[in-house]
Amino acid sequence: MTNTRIAVIGMGQIGRRHLQALTRIDRPIHIQVVDPSPSALQQARKAYHDMKPPRYPQHVEYFSRLDSLSPHLHLAIIATTAEVRKATVEQLLRLKNVHRLILEKVVFQYPDDFVNINKVLQEKNVKTWVNCPLRIYPFFQELKKNIKCQTKEPAPINYFLSGCQFNLASNTIHHLDLFSYLTETTQVTLDESLLSKQVLPNKRKGFMEFTGTLQGSTNAGDRITLTSYPSGASPLLLHVNNNHVRCIAKFNENKAWVSYSPTWSWKEVDFHVPYQSNLTHLVAQQILDEDYCKLPTYSTSWQLHLPLLHSLTRHLHSTGNWSEKRCPIT
């Protein structure tokens, strides 16, 4: 049996995709899965066995409790929903020796949780990343290279995303992270004044969703605008531009076009949106091999989560829909 142990905690849809991706890792591994729900564990078993047999030997165990995990874990992926993630991380690090962590987003619902968990991570010396993978898509890495290559002097970036009910609360952090990656800053101020006052239930029970427009800016003049239409069938469309580069990407169609100054002629380019089940093994492999990965670090994502949590909580308070300090998103 291999000594490389990876835990996946939380067997919702994202957790199952993480588990499926691990079948592609290029080394023998021991996978341990945790979820308190017997039905969730059964779905996890099915998801794992639906994949092609792994190239290297794998041993998989399914547990309902964290204390059943091995004493030492090389990597743990926390794919629970946001409201229990802080308690899960605290319990895991109290019970087990964990070398590295990947946290699903939205990471926490209380801003102060980032401070408290950061203390634990530092005490335990646990490097941690947050699963906002847009920045590791080859298309966006190439777009950033072209932006830097074309830009002979600083030119603010405009980032526009629009679509019909694309789960603004759940997905904004993905686009804030990509915006941060392209602009190379984590200092973003958000304005929630154009969000709809009608707050919607999230597809996950107990969480909230939003429509309308969320705007943001940086001190350098970069701007981000995210618009979720309340009705219709408008597909998800991204438009990124500055004085030197224009890019249009259609997520639903896996199509994109770019143009550059001075000619501004449009060119269609490859734009592939990989499933999580085609990503996690790449990240995990890099962490195990190099003690590094291209996902945003805990510190970077912390700085982007805070304005988001504050902005959406302010909006909920202003509409009379909410009075708590936590932000009920996941």
State the maximum Cα–Cα separation within the chain, in Å, rounded to a whole number.
62
pLDDT of the residue at 323:
86
One domain, residues 98 and 203: no
One domain, residues 19 and 99: yes
The pair of structure tokens assigned to 14 is: 């994202």
- 225-282 confidence digits (pLDDT tens): 999 999 999 999 999 999 999 999 999 999 999 999 899 999 999 899 899 999 999 9
One domain, residues 120 and 144: no
Position 252 in a domain: yes
pLDDT of the residue at 267:
96
Which stretch of 84-93, 130-139, 147-156 has the lowest confidence by average pLDDT?
147-156
One domain, residues 150 and 254: yes
The residue-averaged pLDDT of 137-144 equals 95
The pair of structure tokens assigned to 190 is: 């958000």
One domain, residues 16 and 164: no
What pTM value is reported for the model? 0.96
Confidence of residue 3 (pLDDT cuts 50, 70, 90): confident
Residue 231's domain comprises 138-273+308-319
Position 52 in a domain: yes
Q: Coil, strand or helix: which one is 223?
A: strand
The pair of structure tokens assigned to 174 is: 């993905």
One domain, residues 229 and 284: no
One domain, residues 121 and 167: no
Position 324 in a domain: no
pLDDT of the residue at 206:
81
Tell me how far apart the alpha carbons of residues 85 and 102 are, in angstroms, rounded to a whole number. 12
pLDDT of the residue at 149:
74
pLDDT of the residue at 1:
47
Beta bridge partners of 243: none
One domain, residues 151 and 209: yes
To which residue do tokens 């259609």 refer? Answer: 250
The residue-averaged pLDDT of 63-88 equals 98
Tell me how far apart the alpha carbons of residues 215 and 191 are, in angstroms, rounded to a whole number. 5
One domain, residues 124 and 250: no
pLDDT score of 139 more than 70: yes
The residue-averaged pLDDT of 33-42 equals 98
Position 302 in a domain: no
Position 330 in a domain: no
User: How many structural domains are present in the chain?
Assistant: 2
pLDDT of the residue at 2:
60
One domain, residues 15 and 109: yes
To which residue do tokens 């319990």 refer? Answer: 91
Position 326 in a domain: no
The pair of structure tokens assigned to 72 is: 């030492």
pLDDT score of 188 more than 80: yes
- Of 233, 161, 231, nearest to 198 by C-alpha is 231
Beta bridge partners of 60: 31
One domain, residues 268 and 284: no
pLDDT score of 117 more than 90: yes
Which stretch of 23-37, 170-184, 188-202 has the lowest confidence by average pLDDT?
188-202
One domain, residues 126 and 14: yes
For residue 84, the domain's CATH number is 3.40.50.720
Sign of CA dihedral 196, 200, 202, 208: positive
Tell me how far apart the alpha carbons of residues 76 and 308 are, in angstroms, rounded to a whole number. 26
Confidence of residue 151 (pLDDT cuts 50, 70, 90): low
pLDDT of the residue at 148:
79
For residue 231, the domain's CATH number is 3.30.360.10
